[in-house]
A and B are shown apart, each in its own frame.
Chain A
Amino acid sequence: MSNIQTKTNVVIRFAGDSGDGIQLTGSQFTTAAALSGNDLATFPDFPAEIRAPAGTLAGVSGFQLHFGSTEIYSPGDLCDVLVVMNAAALKANLKQLKPGGIIIANLDGFDEKNLRLAKYAEGENPLNDKRLEDYLLHSMPITKLTRTALKDLGLSPREMDRSKNMFVLGFLYYMYNRPLEATIEDLQKKFAKKPGIAEANVRVLKAGYSFADTTEIQHGRFEVKAATMKPGTYRSIMGNQATAYGLVAASVKSKLPLFFATYPITPASEILHELSRYKNFGVITSQAEDEIAAVTSAIGASFGGSLGVTASAGPGIALKTEAIALAVMYELPLVICNVQRAGPSTGMPTKMEQGDLLQAIYGRNGEAPVAVVAASTPTDCFEVVFEACRLAVEFMTPVFFLSDGYLANGAEPWRFPKEADLGEINVRFATPDDKQNGTFLPYARDERLVRKWAVPGTPGLEHRIGGLEKEDLTGNISSDPDNHEKMVRLRQQKIDNIAKSVPAQSLDSGPESGDLLVLSWGSTYGVIKTALKQLRSEGVDVAHAHMRYLNPFPANIEELLRRYREVVVPENNAGQLVRLIRDKFLIPAIPHNKIKGQPFTVGEIKNKVWEILKES
């Protein structure tokens, strides 16, 4: 019998053709890990092409899962186990494997043709290469074994091959001592209408499990115990899904019908897919004819008293720019979700980047301030998009919600809230009583400088709004010089006033003052948290603040920054938050940038901290 060793955390990377079901295998194993009580984080890394030529390096799709019995904040840097379905997958991913790591290879993906497509030299097979001696290699003819397991089911070879990812899954379940039941149930539910396919998948899953068992895999088996997580009920969730739920929650809490209009774009489309299923919440989704129609129809809906939301990624946001400025001018609520991807232009659609912060804050003509908030983890998307809706409605303004491809497709356990736990969203509609001396002033403001929302259908409040500069109070067209400056400053001050409505910036970890503060925003959170935790255990205590509110900044941010001798700002861009910090406070914050379409590794953060501490 194999000896089961206990591990605190494990990183598995699945890699194969984008048609190999890699993402599905990864997410199935994720579910199994979650149900076993592990903390986890995932990172799907796939090519932009839906079905890139099979067997090629360009077609390699990856899925990385980090699970453990300790708190997990990132999908991990290097992996412990690399699953490769073909030669190209091995070539593209070997550098991601730890020395001494385990390779599970599909022998059938290393035939002459696959080796040639992966651009190995004539006669070279990496599986026989000396270089692999540093690893524990498990090669097995997965395709053949799968076909053998299914030979009496009357399926075509093509149909049979679709189940081969289940073989890997079964193998890993044995290796990590996971029960099969939940996955079997899941497969039966998923293929309820195709019992033949369900049967094939279950059979191959079991075949993989038994294969691992009977071949007595020599490295033994591992166990990753349940993590000590905060007590509560959990589920697993991905960022785009959490964003969709957050929008529905905001609609429920504000009692405003949700109107969500977008044009399909990677990596934001799943928000549309999710929301289009929630019609029984009164959610209206509109797949608009283009990005501009998406945002403008959301503005039209907002004028009518709905919660108008649009979503996109960089290129689409660029197209929406003029309309966002119109909403600034109208002073109507509008939420713009930007699931950022590597730019500029079409860039790298399936790769992450934090390149659109300055676009969100400044990217419009004229002085057109909007609020900007950003999510830090997949589950945080829920809370932050909810907050974006609250700010939009309570301050009658467009609000940017920033996510990115890494959060959108990454999954983690979520100790989800109940409706009753959610904050309030206070809507202030104008009523016929808001007329003063028989006149309605659509741009009269309260002490926060916020106007009321006067929606069509309200008798006596008929009024016109427009993109032309408006006279204070009446909203009539005005080109008066003093009025223009007044209105520009009013609109800016209204956005600045949001700072009074949001929590002060807190420290995520580390000392209250000292040598170094790591200041971050967005999806870098998990990696930085992990890096600083490791540094702390190595005796280096560095402070970490992670910003959710990027415009306006929380009121105390300058005071916080000045408590440290140095401030470093890691970002997956060429330096955007760091520029804002330097600009606003004349603090010589240090940029730390990675612009590869990939998140930072823990090591890259630690090295930068060491470097700064050594110099100072």
Chain B
Amino acid sequence: MSQTDTLPRQDDLPPSFTSQDLVTDQDVRWCPGCGDYSILKQVQKVLPEFGLKKEEIVFVSGIGCSSRFPYYMNTYGMHSIHGRAAAIATGLKITRPELSVWVISGDGDSLSIGGNHTIHLLRKNPDLNLLIFNNQIYGLTKGQFSPTSPQGKVTKSSPMGSVEHPFNPLALALGADASFIARSIDRDPAHLQAMIRRSHAHKGTSLLEVYQNCNVFNDGAFFTFTDRATKSDSVVVLEHGQPLLFGAERRKGIRMDGGGTPKIVDLDADGYAESDLWIHDEKDLFKASLLARFFDNPTEPGALPRPIGVFYAVERPCLEAMVHRQLTYAREKFGEGNLDKLIEGDSTWVIR
């Protein structure tokens, strides 16, 4: 049984609202067949499990297809301006730590125009959830390459192929000292639900990258990872404490050789036991860093499988908790602020 399945429910009480309660009266305007539908559905499905009240939940987004998300969630919501959702959410979370804050963003929104806010969000680590819908394309502006589009990508704005090297979002996030990074795929609902649960459960900023198919401008960008014929050989599902196994029969594995290089081995042909394989450890930054670099072109022969699951999850103090601890400390040390005393200052004189 996988570790994500055994994660306890967040609350013993029955949910105070249902998935249906989270549906708004707005028509969903994503293109038919868009991967965003699945993500919306999975979020609506698991959110009632968390023991939250509906009024305590806020979805904040920037601009882009993904950022229409809050309009379809019957919670509090802010659709904002391009790239800034992370900063808006930080201000909200610092001042209202009790709220459950979710940032919904895309690859252009959070890694291009909002890239600065993304790295600083991860560094500061407020307890909120960042979902990046990565479709490797600009959809709302009708098909330009994005900072995650592979080099050579032919788009409207790169007719001879993009000359730009793409970001590896999770490697970038680890560089910013993210305390939680995970990846899932729109077409794997059960896994996506599990990852949303893990994101919510994490204390600190949780970054969940979701591979999302844009069936209009970048159809099939992740088909290798989702097609029945190819996915078992090109995806490795990370489970804490479990060996890195993949392949249709789960007889292929990843082994770290003596030089610290990951290698694909065939348990049967190469004569390895599962215990010889790389055992996934979410707390191990070194391993997580290597896993984040499993970024080969999946169609190249010998490509390492693309990991999905929780790469890294450690606890470190949350921004808003530290901010409020200082407020409490200041009140204890200096007493509740007295405006008259503040204004008066140390040095006054009287004119009669």
Tell me whether A and B are bound partners. yes
Give A residues with C-beta under 8 Å from B: 31, 34-35, 37, 182, 226, 229-237, 245, 248-249, 252, 257, 259, 261, 278-284, 286, 288-290, 292-293, 296-306, 308, 322-323, 326, 330, 415-419, 456-468, 476-477
| Contact present for B351 and A308 (CB under 8 Å) | no
| Nearest-neighbor residue (CB-CB) of A241 within chain B | B345
Q: Which of A35, A236, A281, A461 has the most CB of B within 10 A?
A: A281
Partner of B80, one of A289, A308, A326: A326
Given A245-B342, A293-B117, residue A458 in contact with residue B55 (CB < 8 A): yes
Q: How far is the CA of A289 from the CA of B76 in the complex (A)?
A: 26
Interface segment among B82-90, B193-201, B266-274: the answer is B82-90
Given A37-B351, A230-B351, A296-B80, residue A456 in contact with residue B87 (CB < 8 A): no
| Nearest-neighbor residue (CB-CB) of B117 within chain A | A293
| Contact present for A236 and B347 (CB under 8 Å) | yes
Partner of B76, one of A237, A293, A417, A462: A462
Partner of B330, one of A280, A418, A467, A468: A280
| Contact present for B79 and A464 (CB under 8 Å) | yes
Q: How far is the CA of A37 from the CA of B350 in the complex (A)?
A: 8
| Contact present for B71 and A464 (CB under 8 Å) | yes
Residue B202, interface by CB 8 Å: no
| Contact present for B334 and A231 (CB under 8 Å) | no
Q: How close is A499's CB to chain B, nearest CB, in angstroms?
A: 29
Q: In the complex, what residues of B have CB within 8 A of residue A302's CB? A: 91
| Contact present for A278 and B337 (CB under 8 Å) | yes
Main secondary structure, interface of A, reads mixed
Q: How far is the CA of A559 from the CA of B55 in the complex (A)?
A: 50
Q: How far is the CA of A308 from the CA of B98 in the complex (A)?
A: 18
| Nearest-neighbor residue (CB-CB) of A458 within chain B | B55
CB interface residues, B 153-199, toward A, < 8 Å: none
| Contact present for B337 and A280 (CB under 8 Å) | yes
Q: Which of A226, A259, A280, A292 has the most CB of B within 10 A?
A: A280
Residue B96, interface by CB 8 Å: yes
Partner of A299, one of B57, B88, B94, B323: B88
Q: Which of B55, B116, B120, B344 has the most CB of A within 10 A?
A: B55
**Range class of the B interface residue count:** 35 or more
| Contact present for A301 and B94 (CB under 8 Å) | yes
Residue B3, interface by CB 8 Å: no
Partner of A293, one of B73, B120, B347: B120
| Contact present for B89 and A289 (CB under 8 Å) | no
Q: In the complex, what residues of A have CB within 8 A of residue B351's CB? A: 37, 226, 229-234, 415
Q: How close is A549's CB to chain B, nearest CB, in angstroms?
A: 24
| Nearest-neighbor residue (CB-CB) of B61 within chain A | A466
| Contact present for A459 and B55 (CB under 8 Å) | yes
Residue B40, interface by CB 8 Å: no
| Contact present for B55 and A284 (CB under 8 Å) | no
Q: How far is the CA of A459 from the CA of B349 in the complex (A)?
A: 51
0/1 interface trace, chain B 65-83, chain A, CB 8 Å (1 if under): 0000011011111111100
| Contact present for B90 and A278 (CB under 8 Å) | no
| Nearest-neighbor residue (CB-CB) of A326 within chain B | B81
Given A297-B94, A303-B92, residue A278 in contact with residue B347 (CB < 8 A): no
Partner of B349, one of A34, A281, A283, A460: A34
| Contact present for A462 and B92 (CB under 8 Å) | no
Q: How far is the CA of A284 from the CA of B327 in the complex (A)?
A: 8
Q: How close is A237's CB to chain B, nearest CB, in angstroms?
A: 8
With A286-B90, A288-B87 already in contact, 10 other A-B pairs whose C-beta atoms are closer than 8 Å: A234-B350, A249-B339, A279-B326, A293-B120, A303-B58, A326-B81, A417-B343, A462-B74, A462-B76, A464-B71
Q: How far is the CA of A166 from the CA of B135 in the complex (A)?
A: 66
Q: How far is the CA of A249 from the CA of B351 in the complex (A)?
A: 24
Q: How close is B328's CB to chain A, nearest CB, in angstroms?
A: 9
Partner of A249, one of B89, B330, B343: B343
| Contact present for A289 and B120 (CB under 8 Å) | yes
CB interface residues, B 256-281, toward A, < 8 Å: none
Sample (20) of A-B pairs whose CB atoms are under 8 Å apart: A35-B349, A226-B351, A248-B337, A249-B343, A252-B339, A261-B91, A280-B337, A281-B342, A286-B91, A288-B87, A293-B84, A296-B88, A297-B87, A297-B94, A302-B91, A456-B56, A458-B55, A461-B55, A462-B77, A476-B26
| Contact present for A279 and B327 (CB under 8 Å) | yes
| Nearest-neighbor residue (CB-CB) of A249 within chain B | B339
Q: How far is the CA of A575 from the CA of B98 in the complex (A)?
A: 49
Q: In the complex, what residues of B have CB within 8 A of residue A234's CB? A: 348-351
Residue B300, interface by CB 8 Å: no
Residue B352, interface by CB 8 Å: yes
Q: How far is the CA of A306 from the CA of B97 in the complex (A)?
A: 12
| Contact present for B54 and A462 (CB under 8 Å) | yes
| Nearest-neighbor residue (CB-CB) of A237 within chain B | B345
| Contact present for B98 and A467 (CB under 8 Å) | no
Q: How close is B113's CB to chain A, nearest CB, in angstroms?
A: 10
Q: In the complex, what residues of B have CB within 8 A of residue A306's CB? A: 95-96
Q: How close is A517's CB to chain B, nearest CB, in angstroms?
A: 32
Q: In the complex, what residues of A have CB within 8 A of residue B344's CB? A: 233, 235, 416
Partner of A37, one of B88, B327, B349: B349
Q: How far is the CA of A261 from the CA of B94 in the complex (A)?
A: 11
Q: How close is A480's CB to chain B, nearest CB, in angstroms?
A: 15
Q: How close is B11's CB to chain A, nearest CB, in angstroms?
A: 18
| Contact present for B91 and A245 (CB under 8 Å) | no
Given A296-B88, A301-B91, A461-B55, residue A235 in contact with residue B348 (CB < 8 A): yes
Residue B53, interface by CB 8 Å: yes
| Contact present for A35 and B347 (CB under 8 Å) | yes
CB interface residues, B 196-231, toward A, < 8 Å: none
| Contact present for B348 and A464 (CB under 8 Å) | no
| Contact present for B79 and A468 (CB under 8 Å) | yes
Q: In the complex, what residues of B have CB within 8 A of residue A290's CB? A: 116
Q: Which of B24, B53, B330 has the most CB of A within 10 A?
A: B330
Q: In the complex, what residues of A have CB within 8 A of residue B73's CB? A: 464
Q: In the complex, what residues of A have CB within 8 A of residue B316's CB? A: none
Q: How far is the CA of A235 from the CA of B88 in the complex (A)?
A: 38
Q: In the complex, what residues of B have CB within 8 A of residue A237's CB? A: 345
Q: In the complex, what residues of B have CB within 8 A of residue A233's CB? A: 344, 348-351
CB interface residues, B 319-340, toward A, < 8 Å: 323, 326-327, 329-331, 333-337, 339-340
| Contact present for B89 and A300 (CB under 8 Å) | yes
Partner of B55, one of A229, A231, A259, A457: A457
Q: How close is B174's CB to chain A, nearest CB, in angstroms?
A: 18
Residue B245, interface by CB 8 Å: no
0/1 interface trace, chain B 24-53, chain A, CB 8 Å (1 if under): 101000000000000000000000000001
Q: How close is B8's CB to chain A, nearest CB, in angstroms?
A: 26
Residue B131, interface by CB 8 Å: no
Q: How far is the CA of A371 from the CA of B18 in the complex (A)?
A: 43
Q: How far is the CA of A305 from the CA of B343 in the complex (A)?
A: 25
Q: How far is the CA of A296 from the CA of B79 in the complex (A)?
A: 12
| Contact present for B95 and A292 (CB under 8 Å) | no
Q: How far is the CA of A297 from the CA of B85 in the complex (A)?
A: 9
Q: How far is the CA of A360 from the CA of B75 in the complex (A)?
A: 34
Q: In the complex, what residues of A have CB within 8 A of residue B329's CB? A: 279
Q: In the complex, what residues of A have CB within 8 A of residue B71's CB? A: 464, 466, 476-477
| Contact present for B334 and A293 (CB under 8 Å) | no
Residue B318, interface by CB 8 Å: no
| Contact present for A286 and B339 (CB under 8 Å) | no
Partner of A457, one of B56, B333, B337, B339: B56
| Contact present for A293 and B80 (CB under 8 Å) | no
The 9 closest A-B pairs by CB, nearest first: A297-B91, A300-B91, A466-B79, A281-B337, A279-B330, A300-B88, A300-B92, A464-B77, A293-B87
Given A231-B351, A280-B335, residue A467 in contact with residue B81 (CB < 8 A): yes
| Nearest-neighbor residue (CB-CB) of A468 within chain B | B79
| Contact present for A462 and B55 (CB under 8 Å) | yes
| Contact present for A292 and B84 (CB under 8 Å) | yes
Q: In the complex, what residues of A have CB within 8 A of residue B56's CB? A: 456-457
Partner of A245, one of B24, B63, B326, B343: B343
| Contact present for B342 and A278 (CB under 8 Å) | yes
| Nearest-neighbor residue (CB-CB) of A257 within chain B | B95
Partner of A323, one of B54, B84, B349, B352: B84
